[in-house]
């Protein structure tokens, strides 16, 4: 049953939508908070049908790679996947991957445009075994009408990548997409400041000429770096022990010799050995 709220807004459980801009403007802060709480976080199967592991892995790889890159870069950008998105007065939808610039990246259960004060800046849809018309036709029209700056479609089965960038709106007419033409097998994203390409059956992101590492690749790289540090430390400790042994030999010989020239030479060699020990200790 519909619940009537001030401003002419009625919450429909069977078709939950955020208030229109006019209805939202007529509400108090408390009424807005109530509406946001009422909007469901879950997305029904019809809006997000399963397409198998290949589809899931492609989404997780893209979301994880972008999230980690921007976290390390310290850039304020929110990256998420399969979150319910509510535009004013519009049916909810749930992109495979999306990004919003200049907002905090804290955890959310839904994205309500009026409450966040921002719409989506980029969407990536992964197509594998679902409704092709939804990704290649319906979403192209819908995302352009909603003002989403960039829209990329990755066909995981066909290994096809396409990009769209929004042209400025003309008067009251909504903006339309124009294709992003690849350069050298890469599609540039002005929203992300990165290039997208197909690599080994998945989307690969590039910052300049450097590919962004996925979580598993990054963990492997860090593991190898740690191994090298440990090995270097062990080698330095071995050299230090060898130097200490040489000092012990020189000290014994120094105590045994009585010749002035021999003592001077031994002292010089002892001093060099001690200096080497100090240097090696600094490398540990």
User: pLDDT tens-digit profile of 166-203?
Assistant: 997 777 777 899 999 999 999 999 999 999 999 988 99
Convert the pLDDT of each residue in 80-136 to its tens digit: 998 999 999 999 999 999 999 999 999 999 999 999 999 999 999 999 887 889 999
Distance in angstroms (rounded) separating the CA atoms of residues 244 and 250: 10
Q: Which CATH architecture has domain 41-212?
A: Alpha-Beta Complex (3.90)
pLDDT at 175: 82
What is the DSSP secondary structure assignment for residue 183, as one 8-state letter? B
Q: Give the least confident one: 146-150, 185-189, 191-195, 236-240.
A: 236-240
| Band (276; pLDDT cuts 50, 70, 90) | confident
What is the average per-residue pLDDT within 144-156?
A: 96
Per-residue pLDDT for 223 more than 50? no
Q: How many residues does the chain have?
A: 284
What is the average per-residue pLDDT within 143-147?
A: 96
pLDDT at 224: 38
Per-residue pLDDT for 205 more than 80? yes
Per-residue pLDDT for 213 more than 70? yes
* Cβ 19 vs Cβ 88: under 8 Å: yes
Indicate the average pLDDT of the chain: 85
With pLDDT > 70 as the criterion, what percentage of the chain qualifies?
Answer: 83
Cα dihedral 204→207→209→212 (10° resolution): -40
pLDDT at 243: 67
Structural domain boundaries of the chain?
Answer: 1-39, 41-212, 218-282
pLDDT at 236: 56
More confident residue, 74 or 277: 74
* Cβ 66 vs Cβ 99: under 8 Å: yes
| Band (235; pLDDT cuts 50, 70, 90) | low
Per-residue pLDDT for 222 more than 70? no
Which of 8-22, 35-49, 253-267 is modeled with the greatest confidence?
Answer: 8-22
Distance in angstroms (rounded) separating the CA atoms of residues 225 and 154: 33
* Cβ 231 vs Cβ 222: under 8 Å: no
pLDDT at 219: 46
């Amino acid at each position: 049953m519909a619940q009537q709220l001030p401003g002419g807004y009625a919450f429909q459980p069977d078709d939950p939508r955020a208030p229109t801009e006019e209805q939202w403007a007529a509400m108090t802060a408390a009424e807005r908070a109530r509406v946001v709480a009422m909007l469901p976080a879950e997305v029904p199967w019809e809006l997000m049908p399963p397409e198998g592991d290949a589809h899931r892995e492609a989404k997780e790889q893209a979301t994880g790679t972008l999230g980690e890159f921007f976290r390390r870069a310290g850039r304020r950008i929110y990256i998420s996947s399969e979150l319910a998105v509510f535009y004013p007065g519009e049916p909810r939808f749930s992109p495979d991957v999306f990004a919003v610039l200049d907002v905090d990246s804290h955890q959310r259960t839904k994205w309500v445009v009026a409450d966040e004060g921002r719409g989506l800046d980029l969407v990536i849809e992964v197509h594998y075994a679902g409704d092709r018309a939804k990704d290649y036709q319906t979403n192209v029209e819908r995302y352009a009408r909603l003002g989403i700056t960039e829209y990329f479609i990755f066909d995981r089965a066909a290994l096809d990548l396409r990009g769209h960038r929004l042209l400025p709106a003309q008067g009251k007419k909504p903006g339309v997409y124009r294709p992003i033409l690849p350069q050298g097998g890469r599609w540039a994203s002005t929203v992300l400041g990165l290039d997208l390409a197909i690599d080994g059956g998945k989307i690969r992101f590039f910052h300049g000429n450097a590919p962004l590492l996925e979580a598993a690749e990054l963990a492997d790289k860090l593991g190898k770096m740690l191994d090298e540090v440990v090995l270097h430390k062990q080698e330095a400790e071995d050299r230090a022990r060898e130097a200490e042994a040489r000092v012990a030999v020189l000290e014994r010989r120094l105590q045994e010799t009585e010749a002035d020239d021999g003592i001077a030479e031994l002292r010089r060699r002892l001093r060099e050995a001690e200096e080497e020990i100090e240097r090696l200790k600094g490398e540990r």
